[in-house]
């Protein structure tokens, strides 16, 4: 079975007086997060996020030996599917032996290397996406610090990530926020504020946002704001994201257009998972580590 693994880098954002400040994070963050989660009770690890309970755990895989986080969305019983006997064709209710047992849809978050990067694997369409993961990590680690938010910024492929880092600014940014998507509560500067304000109008519509300088040069404040927005957008809440970057080439500045969603680094790997079997931890972690090897190859230069 083939699955897509996505890659993100941790950001810690402090909000104060309407301004967002990105804080420096030590490279032992995920180790400390895991140690902290280990001290919490099951009830403290079950967080209600936008009307849905999300359960999370810190785990240690045996083969290969590494720590990861298992974060799962809890299905309400009204959303449970029926059961089917493949032998008899009889359809019936799902009846777990433990009456407190519920169905959950997991996502695996695997830190790796000496930085704060993680590989993320969602196991089903109902598994928590990145916005819910951010909310869960924020809630369990800083429950009494509403000004601190943990964010997972998508890793762009090596060529474009270098372009984003080197860019003097941006002159065009166009994004589409799909109906039903959850816009992150912080981040993105003025672009993020505009997206959140537009989303507050209605959750039933797609939202198309665009800023362009056309042929004008634009001031540093404008081009920097558009660049901050471009570095913020990601695939879990936008369905389209295009930017024109201002890049230095020799003694002049050039504009180049990029599709940010197509440039986000992902790895499609084959997992040793059978369609009629529950995925084993070994199969999941082996597949994720193959994806991490692909990531390292991409960014080794």
- pLDDT tens-digit series, residues 130-146: 999 999 999 998 766 66
Residue 207 is predicted with a pLDDT of 93
Q: Give dist(CA 31, CA 237) in Å, integer.
A: 28
Is it the case that residue 18 has pLDDT exceeding 70? no
Residue 15 is predicted with a pLDDT of 78
Q: pLDDT-based confidence at 301, cuts 50/70/90?
A: low
Q: pLDDT-based confidence at 245, cuts 50/70/90?
A: very high
Is it the case that residue 180 has pLDDT exceeding 90? no
Is it the case that residue 123 has pLDDT exceeding 90? yes
Is it the case that residue 162 has pLDDT exceeding 90? no
Is it the case that residue 210 has pLDDT exceeding 90? yes
DSSP 287: H
Percent of the chain scoring above 70 in pLDDT: 98
Would you say 110 and 122 are in contact if contact means Cβ atoms under 8 Å apart? no
Q: Which of 287, 237, 283, 281 is nearest to 260 (CA)?
A: 237
Residues facing 58 on adjacent strands? 69
Pairing mode, strands 104-111 and 66-74: antiparallel
Mean pLDDT for 227-233 is: 89
Mean pLDDT is lowest, of 15-19, 88-92, 185-189, 293-297, for 15-19
Pick 172 or 278 by higher pLDDT.
172
Is it the case that residue 97 has pLDDT exceeding 80? no
Residue 43 is predicted with a pLDDT of 94
Highest averaged pLDDT of the listed ranges 39-48, 110-119, 146-155: 39-48
Tokens linked to 38:
């280990």
Residue 283 is predicted with a pLDDT of 93
Would you say 151 and 182 are in contact if contact means Cβ atoms under 8 Å apart? no
Q: Give dist(CA 294, CA 173) in Å, integer.
A: 30
Residue 215 is predicted with a pLDDT of 85
Mean pLDDT for 109-135 is: 91
Mean pLDDT is lowest, of 127-141, 152-166, 208-222, for 152-166
């Amino acid at each position: 079975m083939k699955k897509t693994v996505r890659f993100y880098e941790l950001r810690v954002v402090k909000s104060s007086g309407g301004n967002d400040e990105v804080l420096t994070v030590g490279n032992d963050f995920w180790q400390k997060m895991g140690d902290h989660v280990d001290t919490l009770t099951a009830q403290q690890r079950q967080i209600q996020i936008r009307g849905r309970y999300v359960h999370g755990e810190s785990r240690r895989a045996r083969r290969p030996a590494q720590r990861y986080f298992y974060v799962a969305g809890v299905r309400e019983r009204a959303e449970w599917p029926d059961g089917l006997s493949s032998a008899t064709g009889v359809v019936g209710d799902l009846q777990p032996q433990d009456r407190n047992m519920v169905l959950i849809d997991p996502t695996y978050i695997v830190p790796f290397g000496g930085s704060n990067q993680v590989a993320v694997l969602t196991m089903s369409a109902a598994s928590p996406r990145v916005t819910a993961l951010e909310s869960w990590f924020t809630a369990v680690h800083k429950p009494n610090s509403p000004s601190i938010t943990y964010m997972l910024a998508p890793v762009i492929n090596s060529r474009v990530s270098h372009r984003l880092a080197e860019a003097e600014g941006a002159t065009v940014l166009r994004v589409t926020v799909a109906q039903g998507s959850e816009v992150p509560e912080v981040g993105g500067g003025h672009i993020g504020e505009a997206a959140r304000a537009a989303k507050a109008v209605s959750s039933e519509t797609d939202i198309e946002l665009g800023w362009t300088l056309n042929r004008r040069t634009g001031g540093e404040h404008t081009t920097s704001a558009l660049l901050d927005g471009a570095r913020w957008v990601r695939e879990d809440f936008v369905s389209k994201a295009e930017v024109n970057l201002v890049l230095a080439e020799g003694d002049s500045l050039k504009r180049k257009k990029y599709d940010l969603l197509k440039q986000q680094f992902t790895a499609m790997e084959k997992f040793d998972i059978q369609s009629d079997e529950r995925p084993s931890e070994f199969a999941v972690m082996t597949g994720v580590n193959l994806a991490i090897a692909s990531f390292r190859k991409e960014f080794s230069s």
